[in-house]
Structure 1
C-alpha cells in the first residue's frame, strides 16, 4: 500500500491514509512484532463508513526513520506516546479515536491518559497498557515469567545478536507462541517481516524491553512524560478493552481487574478463538468498537 512521510517530533513517520480527509479521524496503532498490515481487515469498512483512517509505522518499523542520528533509539513508553501526539499535531488532528494493541495500545493509552482532550474514544487490547516501571522489580508468577523469555533474552548481548541476525525467525516464533490458533501463512508473514529490516528495529526493540525493567536509561527529553506515567494516571475517555481468549503472552486473566484504571464509560470484551495479534485475526470487533465510540 502507498504511504506518505510525515515529519513529526523525532521521526519521519511513514503513514497510510484512507477514507475522506474530512472524516472523523481514527488512528490505528500496531504492536510488536508487527506492522501496519495488521489493520488490513479493519481499514476498508472504516474508510467506507466515512472515517479518516490513519495507520502509521511505529518507530523502528518499516519506512519510519529517526530524523537525527544522535537521537536515542528509544522504545520506552513515553517515546511511543510522544510520537503519537506529535503525529496528530503534524496531521492537524485535534481529536481522534485511538485503537491499538501491544506497543500501539500503550501509545494510545498514554495519549488518552495524559491528553484526554485529544481523544474521542479508545479501543485498547489487553487493558491498561501503561507500564508500572517503578514496580517492575516485583516478580510475577513463574508461568508468567516464562512467557516473557524474549524480554530476558534481549537483556543479554547474545539476545541482541540473535535478534540482529535472525529477526524474521525470532519474530515468527513469537507469532506462533502468542497466536497459536491463527493460520498464518508464510506469504502473509513475509509482508510484515520486511518491516523488521528497518535499520533501527533492533536497537529500538532492545531498549524497549530493557527500559521497562529499569535496565537501561530513558531519553532525557522524555523524563517529564515518564514522571507523569509513573503516577499511573487513570483514563477518563470512553474505552473498550478487547482481549483475545487465546493470547499466548498476555492471557485474559491479566485484564480482569483493569476497569479500576478507567473512570469514563467502559466495557471489556473477551474475543473467543483469537490470540495476541487481534486486529488481523478478528477485525470485526475493532470495527464495531470504533463505530460504537464514534457516536458517543
Structure 2
C-alpha cells in the first residue's frame, strides 16, 4: 500500500492530522471517515481526484490516528457539533473558504451539519446514508425492534462494561463491527489491518464513548458547542447540491424503498442505492463514490 505523508493543521483545540493529494491550487475536496474507520477508506478515491486537478484533504477525526488535543483538560467530546466544528476549524486553518464535502457515518454527520448551517462553505455534498444529523431530543423514543437490535453497540457503550470492553478489545471489537456492517464485502479483513492502527490513539475510547452517550442524552456535551446543538434540534435542511449513497447490504440499517430523507434536502438532490455494498461506502464502492463526487463537481 502507498503510504501518504501526514500533515498537521493546528486549531484552537487540536492538531488535526490529515493527508493531502493534488495541487495546492486545485478546487478543494474534503473526504471524511466515520467510526470505526480511517482515511484508508479513501485510498482509491483521493489519488483519482488529485489526478484530475483537485486539492484533496483527508483528515483523521478527533480520537483517531495522529490527531491530538492540545490540553488534557479538554472534554474528549464525540458529540455531533464537535465533529462539525472540527471540520470548520480545519477549513479555516488551511485557508479553505469553500469545499466539496464527502463523508459517511461520523464524517457524514460533520459534512451534513456544515452543509446545513454554513451552506456558503460547501460547494456540494456526497453523504453516506442521507441526512445524518442526529435528532437528540427525539432519541428517547424507542425504535422498531428490528432497528433497535442493530444499535446494540451504542447501548453497550452506555455502561462501564462497554468502556472496559472497548478499552481492552478495541481492535477485535471494531473488526466485529466491520464484519456485521459490511457482511458481503470480500476485502474486509485485508483492509481492516490497514485501518486498525488509527484506533490506537489514546483519546479513541473517550471520544467514542462520549459520542454514543451524548446522542442519547446520557452525557452532557461541551458547553462550547451548545449553540450549535440547539440549532441542530431544529433539524435544518440542506440546500447545497447533494447525492446520498446508501449501501443495500448495510448492517447498521438497510435503506428503505422510500427515501425518508428527501424532505431534508431543498437543493438538487439524488439518492443512489448501491447493490452489494455495506456501511463502509467509499472503501467498498470507490468507483460509485468517485462518480458521485465528479457528477456534482463537474455540473
TM-score tier after normalising by the smaller chain length? over 0.9
- Asked if residue 208 in structure 1 is aligned to residue 211 in structure 2, the reply is yes
- Asked if residue 256 in structure 1 is aligned to residue 259 in structure 2, the reply is yes
- Asked if residue 240 in structure 1 is aligned to residue 243 in structure 2, the reply is yes
Cα separation, partners in 2 of 1:14 and 1:200, compared to 1, 3 Å: same
**Structure 1 residue 129 displacement after superposition:** 0.1
Q: What is the distance in 1 between the residues matched to 2:253 and 2:24?
A: 36
* Aligned partner (choices 56, 71, 74) of residue 71 of structure 1: 74
Give the TM-score normalised by the residue count of structure 2: 0.97
Task: Tell me the number of residue pairs that the alignment of Structure 1 and Structure 2 aligns.
Answer: 296
**Residue correspondence of structure 1 range 83-162 to structure 2 within 5 A:** 83-162=86-165
**Structure 1 residue 254 displacement after superposition:** 8.5
Q: What is the distance in 1 between the residues matched to 2:213 and 2:257?
A: 22
**Residue correspondence of structure 1 range 20-59 to structure 2 within 5 A:** 20-59=23-62
**Structure 1 residue 255 displacement after superposition:** 7.3
Q: What is the distance in 2 between the residues matched to 1:175 and 1:185?
A: 7
* Moved >3 Å (runs of 4+): none
Q: Could you list the runs of 5+ residues in structure 1 that have no partner in the other structure?
A: none
> What is the root-mean-square deviation of aligned Cα atoms in Å?
1.1
Aligned to 2:298: 295
Q: What is the distance in 2 between the residues matched to 1:188 and 1:123?
A: 22
Q: Could you list the runs of 5+ residues in structure 2 that have no partner in the other structure?
A: none
Cα separation, partners in 2 of 1:109 and 1:254, compared to 1, 3 Å: farther
- Asked if residue 8 in structure 1 is aligned to residue 11 in structure 2, the reply is yes
SS state at 2:149 partner = helix
Cα separation, partners in 2 of 1:254 and 1:233, compared to 1, 3 Å: farther
Write the deviation string for residues 249-285 of structure 1: whole angstroms up to 9, x where unpaired.
Answer: 0211187211100000000000111000011101011
Give the TM-score normalised by the residue count of structure 1: 0.98
* Aligned partner (choices 155, 174, 177) of residue 180 of structure 2: 177
